[in-house]
Amino acid sequence: SSGVNTQSSSLPKSHSSQYSELAGTFSPLCVERSPDSGLLATPLPSSRFQFVSWHHLEQCHVTGDQLTCPRVREPSDEELFERVGHELSVERGGRRRREGEGQSWEERLQENWENCELNLSYQDLGDPYQRDNFLRILRRLIRVEKLQLVDNSLTDLSSMRLPRCRILNLQRNHLVSFRALPKLLAVEHLCLSDNAISSLCGLGALGNSPLRSLNLSRNPVTYSPQYRAVFSCLPKLEVLDGIPKLPEDCVP
């Protein structure tokens, strides 16, 4: 049905016997019928681990600083029991945060969030315990310099500290004020586009930072007549929404 010719006559004679021998050495996997185009879909051998964090796997020596875009979201109740026969291994890791159990020292060392450069975007944080676990990880990012937090439905990060972060991307979240930002002492490039910031209140908290570029595109505050007054609040700012500082922006 796929239109691919797999007859043995299409293969060179010198290799036909080799392929027939290889075909006999592997037992076929259980296949499921795919709803699209009538083709047969073969599940991946690793599909039973799709809702398990890497540090909950046995004999796993991967640490957090070796990952660039880790999936740190805790599984939901529906995902915990979606795969019949794998509830125990997934549930053990997924419910630990909700029950308030502490982490072991070995697990903290394996996560090693303190030494990571991370993209933690698109985590799909729909439940409170998932957001709490996400904030727990953010509190450990004390050395991160580049951080991506796109589309995570974040509303308040004021209790977080990112002392070394130079580049922070918070695009497509639910931040309503500059007061909801984390403590940023070294930020140079900050993206806040597609949020819900409606005023410049709290912008002075970034006045002592070396902020050079700021993106507030598609926020309600961009419709304010005094919007370009951002430059008077941030003397080191050079670019706003991709537009360099203009001569009229220097007027108090």
How far is Cα 182 from Cα 59, in angstroms, rounded to an integer? 36
166-192 in b/e form (b: 16+ CB < 10 A) is bbbbbbbbebbbbebbbebeebbbbbb
Enter the tokens of residue 174: 């639910």
How far is Cα 238 from Cα 95, in angstroms, rounded to an integer? 46
Residue 20's pLDDT band, with cuts at 50, 70 and 90, is very low
Give the pTM: 0.69
Is residue 117 in a domain?
Answer: yes
The residue segments making up the domain with residue 158 are: 54-75+107-250
Is residue 49 in a domain?
Answer: no
Enter the tokens of residue 182: 């984390």
Answer whether 235's CB lies under 8 Å from 215's CB.
no
Q: What does the pLDDT read at residue 147? A: 94
Is residue 159 in a domain?
Answer: yes
Asked if residue 174 has pLDDT above 90, the reply is yes
pLDDT, tens digit, 9 for 90 and up, residues 86-140: 444 444 444 444 444 566 767 777 777 887 778 889 888 888 888 988 999 899 9
What are the backbone dihedrals phi and psi of residue 183, each rounded to the nearest 5 degrees, phi first?
Answer: -75, 115
**Least trusted range by pLDDT, from 44-58, 155-169, 211-225, 227-241:** 44-58
Asked if residue 192 has pLDDT above 90, the reply is yes
Residue whose pair of structure tokens reads 């939901």 in the numeric block: 76
Higher pLDDT, 73 or 194: 194
Q: What does the pLDDT read at residue 14? A: 47
Average pLDDT over residues 237-243: 95
Asked if residue 160 has pLDDT above 90, the reply is yes
Q: What does the pLDDT read at residue 57? A: 60
Max mean pLDDT among 26-30, 41-45, 160-164 falls in: 160-164
Asked if residue 2 has pLDDT above 60, the reply is no
Enter the tokens of residue 38: 């009538």
Asked if residue 18 has pLDDT above 50, the reply is no
- Structural domain total, the chain: 1
Is residue 41 in a domain?
Answer: no
Q: 124: phi > 0 → left, psi -120 to 50 → alpha, else beta; which?
A: left
Instruction: Give the number of residues written for the chain.
Output: 252
Torsion of CA 227, 233, 238, 244, to 10 degrees: 20
Is residue 170 in a domain?
Answer: yes
Is residue 245 in a domain?
Answer: yes
pLDDT, tens digit, 9 for 90 and up, residues 137-155: 899 999 999 999 999 999 9
Residue 162's pLDDT band, with cuts at 50, 70 and 90, is very high
Asked if residue 61 has pLDDT above 50, the reply is yes
Enter the tokens of residue 188: 């140079």
Beta-sheet pairing, 183-184 with 189-191:
unpaired
How far is Cα 65 from Cα 117, in angstroms, rounded to an integer? 7
Q: What does the pLDDT read at residue 41? A: 57
How far is Cα 13 from Cα 2, in angstroms, rounded to an integer? 24
Averaged confidence pLDDT in the chain:
75
Is residue 201 in a domain?
Answer: yes
Is residue 141 in a domain?
Answer: yes
Q: What does the pLDDT read at residue 189? A: 97
CATH number, domain of 62, equals 3.80.10.10
Beta-sheet pairing, 239-240 with 243-244:
antiparallel
The DSSP string of 130-154 is HHHHHHHHHTT-SS-SEEE--SS--
